[in-house]
């Protein structure tokens, strides 16, 4: 496992699962299913281990990944899922008490990637979130799964009992809305089980309107943070696929047509950076009434004030959409180089995506991660 594989975003992990499903290769997925105390990652974090012992993604800061590679080999050999618990609460004189930095008890579920993952991929291909309920222990076999769709409800496997799906349906529904994962114990008159409820959300999409040289750093920073990146260019003479090889999708359009070439939903974030006042204004006018909640507009405040004046002169009222427009774009981190500006932009988008204010963590009351 190299450093790049370790730092792979969730989008790459999902793509790795997709490749495994399409090929004859084998792999194991390791999920954090519960954490007591503090840990680098929270429930829902994933790591894929190939049959060649190559790990993609991370579930700790690196202190357990080697051990997980070894256990994954056993799961591949047997095909049987298992749960491994690591107690990092105390600084003991054993292999887990060497000051690894975490201070929690971590439960990790390891299971072979098989056909049971297809409903997950199908849902994500449709741009829809999905809830996955996996049995960890109790009266139902370890690894038994059921899937929850926000529109159609539960689609359990034949081995997943109705008493369990009925009990957890309101819980998984709530977790999906929050994008959270957790483990709980369920006890009813019909049976008992410990289950892992995992919210798997579609990869967030970033659409960049513009094809100047300053787009490349934004693409790079967005990609390593797990966004699927699309470029819209108004210059058909520029080969944007070669200019921005790290982007996922490429489109040519006019400013007055951009709202018709993509599905701009609430999981889409847009950055307008054409460096052309008229193109920016026309693009903004096209996008403000779409369901997206973030439109970043590159440029100083004075430029936006001028734009508002032109909208007003034309009789266009954009005040109802003011909350979704961010300009000047980015967080105030004081950077001025292209990659520092890109970091500022993507940091602001992540803040909006995760429904967080962008203050210092030292000033946050309570744990860093919501629990």
DSSP track, 142-177: TT-EEEEETTTEEEE-TTS-HHHHHHHHHHHHHHHH
Q: How far apart are CA 353 and CA 84, in angstroms?
A: 32
Q: How far apart are CA 296 and CA 365, in angstroms?
A: 29
Q: What is the pLDDT, as a whole number, of residue 369?
A: 60
Q: What is the pLDDT, as a whole number, of residue 368?
A: 62
* Local confidence band at 138 (pLDDT 50, 70, 90 cut-offs): very high
Pick from 255, 254, 245: which is nearest to 215 by CA?
245
Q: What is the pLDDT, as a whole number, of residue 96?
A: 45
Q: Who's near 167: CB < 8 A, 6+ residues apart?
A: 186, 188
Q: How far apart are CA 159 and CA 137, in angstroms?
A: 14
Burial (CB count <10 Å: 0-12, 13-18, 19+), residue 106 = buried
- Whether residue 266 is predicted with pLDDT greater than 80 in this model: the reply is yes
- Whether residue 283 is predicted with pLDDT greater than 70 in this model: the reply is yes
Q: What is the pLDDT, as a whole number, of residue 286?
A: 93
Q: Pull the structure tokens for residue 147.
A: 């899937």
Q: How far is CA 327 from the centre of its chain?
A: 25
Q: What mean pLDDT, rounded, does the chain reach?
A: 88
Question: Within 13 Å, how many C-alpha atoms sit on residue 261's CB side?
Answer: 19
Q: How far apart are CA 323 and CA 163, in angstroms?
A: 44
pLDDT digits (tens, 9 = 90+) for 45-85: 999 998 888 888 888 776 777 888 889 999 999 999 999 99
Q: Who's near 253: CB < 8 A, 6+ residues apart?
A: 232, 233, 234, 261
Q: What superfamily does domain 205-353 belong to in CATH?
A: NAD(P)-binding Rossmann-like Domain (3.40.50.720)
pLDDT digits (tens, 9 = 90+) for 293-329: 999 999 999 999 999 999 989 988 888 999 999 999 9
Q: How many C-beta neighbours within 10 Å does residue 151 have?
A: 5
Give the residue, 371 or 26, on which the prediction is more confident. Answer: 26
Q: How far apart are CA 108 and CA 31, in angstroms?
A: 5
- CB 34 within 8 Å of CB 107: yes
Task: State mean pLDDT over 85-100.
Answer: 58
- CB 329 within 8 Å of CB 300: no
Q: What is the pLDDT, as a whole number, of residue 104?
A: 76
Pick from 98, 34, 22: which is nearest to 66 by CA?
98
- Whether residue 95 is predicted with pLDDT greater than 50 in this model: the reply is no
* Local confidence band at 225 (pLDDT 50, 70, 90 cut-offs): very high
Task: State mean pLDDT over 206-217.
Answer: 96
Burial (CB count <10 Å: 0-12, 13-18, 19+), residue 362 = exposed
DSSP state at residue 37: E
Q: Pull the structure tokens for residue 248.
A: 């996922």
Maximum Cα–Cα distance across the chain: 73
pLDDT digits (tens, 9 = 90+) for 7-32: 788 888 999 999 998 888 899 999 99
* Local confidence band at 38 (pLDDT 50, 70, 90 cut-offs): confident
CA 199-19-155 angle, 5° bins: 40
Per-residue CA distances from 29 to 79, 112, 241, 335, 347 (Å):
12, 6, 32, 38, 29
Q: What is the pLDDT, as a whole number, of residue 252?
A: 95
Q: What is the pLDDT, as a whole number, of residue 155?
A: 82
pLDDT digits (tens, 9 = 90+) for 139-183: 999 999 999 999 888 887 778 999 999 999 999 999 999 889 999
Task: State mean pLDDT over 255-283.
Answer: 94
Q: How far apart are CA 247 and CA 261, in angstroms?
A: 17
Q: What is the pLDDT, as a whole number, of residue 307?
A: 93
Q: What is the pLDDT, as a whole number, of residue 67?
A: 84
* Local confidence band at 92 (pLDDT 50, 70, 90 cut-offs): very low
- Whether residue 217 is predicted with pLDDT greater than 90 in this model: the reply is yes
Q: How far apart are CA 281 and CA 272, in angstroms?
A: 9
Task: State mean pLDDT over 332-344.
Answer: 93
Q: What is the pLDDT, as a whole number, of residue 228?
A: 95
- Whether residue 207 is predicted with pLDDT greater than 60 in this model: the reply is yes
Q: Who's near 41: CB < 8 A, 6+ residues apart?
A: 32, 58, 59, 60
Q: What is the pLDDT, as a whole number, of residue 97?
A: 47
* Local confidence band at 93 (pLDDT 50, 70, 90 cut-offs): very low
- Whether residue 1 is predicted with pLDDT greater than 60 in this model: the reply is no
Percent residues over pLDDT 90 in the chain: 64
- Whether residue 98 is predicted with pLDDT greater than 90 in this model: the reply is no
CATH 3.40.50.720 residue ranges for the chain: 205-353
Q: How far apart are CA 47 and CA 28, in angstroms?
A: 8
Q: What is the pLDDT, as a whole number, of residue 68?
A: 87
How far separated are the first and last CA of the chain, in Å rounded? 30
Pick from 231, 279, 286, 228: which is nearest to 257 by CA?
286
* Local confidence band at 42 (pLDDT 50, 70, 90 cut-offs): confident
Q: How far apart are CA 39 and CA 206, in angstroms?
A: 29
């Amino acid at each position: 496992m190299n450093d790049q594989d370790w730092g792979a975003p969730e989008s790459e992990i999902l793509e790795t699962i997709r490749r495994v499903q399409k090929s004859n290769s084998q792999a194991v997925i390791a999920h954090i299913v519960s954490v007591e105390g503090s840990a680098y990652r929270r429930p829902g974090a994933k790591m894929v281990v190939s049959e060649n012992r190559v790990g993609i993604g991370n579930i700790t800061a690196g202190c357990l990944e080697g051990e997980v590679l070894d256990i994954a080999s056993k799961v591949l050999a047997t095909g049987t899922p298992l749960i491994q618990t690591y107690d990092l609460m105390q600084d003991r004189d054993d292999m887990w008490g060497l000051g690894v930095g975490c201070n929690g008890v971590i439960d990790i579920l390891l299971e072979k990637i098989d056909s049971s993952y297809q409903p997950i991929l199908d849902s994500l291909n449709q741009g829809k979130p999905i809830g996955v309920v996996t049995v960890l222990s109790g009266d139902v076999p370890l690894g038994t799964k059921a899937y929850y769709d926000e529109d159609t409800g539960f689609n359990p496997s034949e081995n997943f009992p109705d008493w369990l799906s009925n009990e957890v349906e309101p819980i998984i529904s709530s977790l999906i809305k929050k994008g959270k994962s957790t483990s709980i114990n369920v006890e009813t008159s019909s049976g008992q089980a410990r289950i892992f409820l995992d919210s798997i959300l579609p990869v967030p999409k970033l659409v960049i309107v513009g094809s100047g040289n300053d787009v490349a750093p934004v693409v790079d920073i967005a990609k390593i943070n797990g966004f699927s990146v699309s470029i819209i260019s108004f210059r058909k003479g520029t080969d944007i696929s070669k200019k921005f090889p790290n982007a996922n999708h490429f489109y040519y359009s006019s400013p007055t047509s951009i709202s018709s070439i993509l599905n701009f939903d609430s999981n889409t974030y847009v950055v307008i950076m054409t460096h052309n006042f008229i193109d920016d204004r026309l693009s903004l006018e096209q996008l403000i009434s779409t369901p997206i909640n973030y439109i970043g507009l590159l440029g100083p405040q004075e430029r936006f004030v001028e734009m508002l004046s032109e909208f007003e002169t034309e009789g266009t009222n954009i005040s109802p959409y003011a909350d979704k427009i961010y300009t000047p774009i980015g967080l105030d981190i004081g950077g001025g180089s292209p990659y520092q500006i890109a970091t500022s932009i993507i940091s602001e988008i992540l803040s909006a995506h995760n429904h967080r204010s962008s203050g210092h963590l030292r000033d946050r009351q309570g744990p860093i991660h919501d629990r």
